[in-house]
Structure 1
């Protein structure tokens, strides 16, 4: 019966992540950029040593995500929806793996509640339905915590576990720089066990060294890039902390309340005030301390709890928006903690009823937002392809300049992907390369593209409009030199 329930929930997870995926997969600027890079990897045109720039301080992430998802272009003949399928499939595999890890390490009850929360979470489902580097962070960070636990507690193969721990930590850091905040619980845990287990200090130090090797292996391309470019990434990261206002101002308690509130409202898809949610966190922490003192909490749960709550606290110190993907490090860790405490409610009929009502409430709140079940499609990939195909008859050669207008319209890479797939090549704006033709796409009027302050357009030089047409609400102008 247990296996049957698990399989049914996993099938639901697969359905919710794959249903009508081509119709709803997001395909905007970041997805277009990633698709272009992934296609160039598969066609052996370019092998990047860095990933996308982060949203803060122009600090570059690593390229591992590109190499991970690029092969998914092949089965669908370079249709960029293959990358969305790749993220969805990897997420399903990650979910199953995390469930098995919890079932074997803690107990089935914890694992099944965790599986329910992660499967039906609208927030996680949304992440898993399109290609973007932060979308895999919840699974990578959970694996990091799991292999940290195995590195410390395993009596066999702990060096291999240490290598995997370091590799997943490195991978997490390449998915989003906020994964660096995991260094806080990791450091505290290692310091604690170095102090408590004096006889195993040498073993733990060796494990730390092996973990560092795993981290460096997965980060090697980014390190190599920095060595070749005068440590530009390191200098930007250093500048971020020393010269830019990354540390938030105002009351620390207010920031903590706001961050904690944002996390819980996103994780559970609820809308509650800050104080009740802060009390919820305090209750969970209090219960953890109580059971830890009685030696009744599994170490893996303690590690995940420390990861989730330390992340919320450390993140509250930063001056940044509280967007859903910023909390990727904490989601699965908190679901594991919630699953552990929920498992105590499965021991008596009365508490089983209470837990059932809570789970049904969670399912109802999240399921009400499943727009992709029967809603109208966005068809962003199909739309980008149609617009790109409308440009090719107007091409006078294989090389062209491309720009979008106004400045808020930033999805030019989505069209470049389909144009490059047909053998055309966009001019390198980074070196001010100018061709004999420029295509400007305008998504809202007034489209006064010849009298604009946009450097992306003005770099083409003195120009005139050769022709104009409209596709899917986008006005497309072909400019030529006067």
Structure 2
């Protein structure tokens, strides 16, 4: 019976993660940048030690995520659509891992509840659909919890070697590992060797570049306008973001009226688990310290906080909910989980589709390529009539269409991408929320176009924001 339930939950989780995967592939600059990095590895034959630059200047994410994307690009002939399958695999691994870990620590019933909450949470699945290096944070957090439970220094060494590749904020949980395990020095030798071996790309990059990332990380504590904010205000800010995540996981994005209802329920549930001794003293220490470390770190660090920085806490919130629900009678459990699933299914199917994503962007670039071929243009210029930042996310698709581009101020024909539609007085074609203004063909002469197209391909030579060769 348990196996059948797990299989059913897995299929439910896959449905949540694959539903309208093309329409909901919100292809944007992050996806375009990762595609550009994959192109750099596969096409340009440049083996990379780093990925994209993070929001902290001078600090780069590790390359593992980009190498993991390569098989999916190869399967789809370098089309980014193949990458949507990576979160499916990560999600499936997270569902099965969560069941295994919770079952080993707290038993079968809370494990089933936990994986059902995880698999059918719209908030969790929406986060996992984002094809970014931080996608495996939930999976990492599940096994980190297990590593603490089993006191496995080798497992923890592997996980912390992956921190650079996933999200640097996870590194602060090393303090928790030392606090809980208190390992003797001799016990750290083999885990240390494992960590060093798996971190060789990072160490090699640092040696070759004068420890630039280490210096950037150190100086990042003194860089932004948030330094002047009172620490109490910053601590409350982190707690509020944790509250946002709780609301997003279990019900909806909150409004000011009901913001603290669900976070308060989770807090009361945690106190109940403590009072009933369902959580051991060590587990209480882990949960409290995990939360406190994130609050303390992001209160002291001047970085502009985002919800995904503290996503690892979501695993704790789900486990607290599962352990509490498990204490109810079967009828109540069935009722609560049914309401949860139905509500989240409703959120999934009713969530508005962003009509400026993969389908629309690929279509508009294909239309530009087709029109350029029709008019025998050897190259084109592409301009953007949009808000700042929304002009990003097209470069790889332009390369995929084998379009050669020239600067907008040249004599090459200019195609204008418009978003949203009202920004332009007229549109010659529309692709979802994207509009296209075709060139004024009468302005361009064959000789002028030929001269403008005789130079380098600006799509390849112009810098890509966030990309370092």
Q: TM-score, normalised by structure 2?
A: 0.77
Cα distance change of structure 1 residues 411 and 103 upon mapping to structure 2, 3 Å threshold: farther
What are the within-5 Å matches in structure 2 for residues 34-45 of structure 1?
34-43=34-43, 45=45
Aligned to 2:217: 237
- Distance in 2, matches of 1:471 and 1:46, equals 37
1: distance between equivalents of 2:171 and 2:416? Answer: 38
User: Which moved further from structure 2: 332-341 or 397-406?
Assistant: 397-406
Question: Alpha carbons of 1:122 and 1:133: their partners in 2 closer, same or farther (altered >3 Å)?
Answer: same
- TM-score (ref. length: structure 1): 0.75
- Where do 5+ consecutive residues of structure 1 fail to align? 153-160, 195-200, 346-350, 449-467
Whether the 8 Å contact between 1:264 and 1:277 is mirrored in structure 2 is yes
Counterpart position of 1:166: 157
Structure 2: distance between partners of 1:309 and 1:420 = 46
Structure 1 partner of 2:148: 148
Residue number in structure 1 paired with 2:207: 227
Q: Distance in 1 between the 2:8 and 2:54 partners?
A: 38
Change (3 A) 1:139 1:304: farther
Distance 1:142 1:298, change over 3 A: farther
* RMSD of aligned alpha carbons: 3.8
Residue in 2 that maps onto 1:175: 166
- After superposition, residues 352-391 of structure 1 pair within 5 angstroms as 352-371=330-349, 378=355, 380-391=357-368
Q: Equivalences for 1:50-199 in 2 at 5 Å?
A: 50-150=50-150, 152=151, 161-191=152-182, 194=183
Correspondence 1:197-346 to 2 at 5 A: 201=184, 205-245=185-225, 247=227, 249-250=229-230, 251-252=232-233, 254-255=236-237, 257-270=239-252, 271=254, 273=258, 276=261, 279-280=264-265, 282-290=267-275, 297=280, 303=286, 306-308=289-291, 310-312=293-295, 314-315=297-298, 323-345=306-328
Unaligned runs of 5+ in 2: 453-469
Q: How far apart, in 1, do the equivalents of 2:180 and 2:12 lie?
A: 36
Summarize deviations over 1:289-330 as a string: whole Å, max 9, x none: 4456xx863956864564345435544555566644233211
**d(CA) in 2 for partners of 1:353 and 1:438?**
67
Contact 1:167 1:214 in 2 (8 A): yes
Q: Distance in 1 between matches of 2:45 and 2:390?
A: 24
Contact 1:26–1:131 (8 Å) recurs in 2: no
Say if 1:405 and 1:440, in contact at 8 Å, map to a contact too: no
Deviation at 1:68, TM superposition (A): 1.5
How far the C-alpha of 1:262 sits from its partner, in A, is 2.2
**Counterpart contact for 2:102–2:108, Cα < 8 Å:** yes
Q: 1:53 to 1:356 in 2, by over 3 A?
A: same
CA pair 245-145 structure 1, distance change in 2 beyond 3 A: farther
| Structure 1 residue aligned with 2:461 | none
